[in-house]
Amino acid sequence: MKRNMILVSLLFISLISFGQRYIASGTFEPNDLGLGIRLDYKFNRGVKVHYHRNDLFSNMGIYTGIGCGKYNSTEEGQYRYFKYSAGITKYAPWSKGNFVSTFGAGINFHNYGKITEGLKRPSKISLFPVSLEANVGIIIYSLNIGISQDLIKRESILIIGMFF
């Protein structure tokens, strides 16, 4: 699992060096102290993110991310997970200033490791390998701050990164 995390991290770092219109972010999941990285790519590289444009794809983008963590509950036991996520983002520049609102939706794929059982078995929903997420955020000049909510597993993810 550590090897996968290192390889994907190197991929993200190399993608950032190929051009502009990327947001590289770190992610944090308070529920299980999970950490991860996320990379957003904005379509139409010739258009700055802070300015309006009428065509659909200049204000759209995609994202991908990875994360890992460890659930620890006396009732359900302990289990590690590795998560892959991907989705789309809509950028909505404000009419004044250097602020951009972001809205997105995506899908998560979870890979669970060995489960140490607690007093009761984990629910089928908590161990289901696929889930949906919605996210919102704001870009202030080059700083990206956001929150993502897993709609099925009810987990929140804090997102902080830089726009390149």
| C-alpha 141 chain-centroid distance | 20
Asked if the structure places residue 139 within a domain, the reply is yes
Q: Is the pLDDT of residue 98 over 70?
A: yes
pTM: 0.78
Domains contained in the chain, number: 1
- Do the domain assignments include residue 156? no
Residue 82: both structure tokens together? 């590795």
| Residue carrying the six token digits 């629910």 | 123
Tokens of 6: 């290192």
Higher pLDDT, 129 or 10: 129
> Residue 18 above 70 pLDDT?
no
pLDDT at position 138: 92
For the cut 60, the answer to whether the pLDDT of residue 145 exceeds it is: yes
pLDDT on residue 3: 61
- The pLDDT of residue 93: 81
Token code pair at residue 163: 């726009």
Confirm whether 17 is domain-assigned. no
- For the beta carbon of residue 54, count every other beta carbon within 10 angstroms: 6
Instruction: Print the domain residue range for 117.
Output: 1-8+32-48+60-85+97-146
The residue behind tokens 């996520």 is: 85
- Residue 90 lies inside a defined structural domain of this protein: no
pLDDT digits 0-9 by tens, 62-75: 999 999 988 776 66
Q: Does 40 map to a domain?
A: yes
Q: What sign does the dihedral 36-37-43-48 (CA atoms) show?
A: positive
The least confident of 60-69, 108-117, 135-144, 150-159 is: 108-117
Percentage with pLDDT > 70 across the chain: 70
User: Is 112 a member of any domain?
Assistant: yes
Return the closest-CA partner of residue 31 out of 69, 74, 3. 69
Task: Indicate the average pLDDT of the chain.
Answer: 80
* pLDDT tens, residue by residue, 25-40: 999 998 888 899 999 9
117 located within any domain: yes
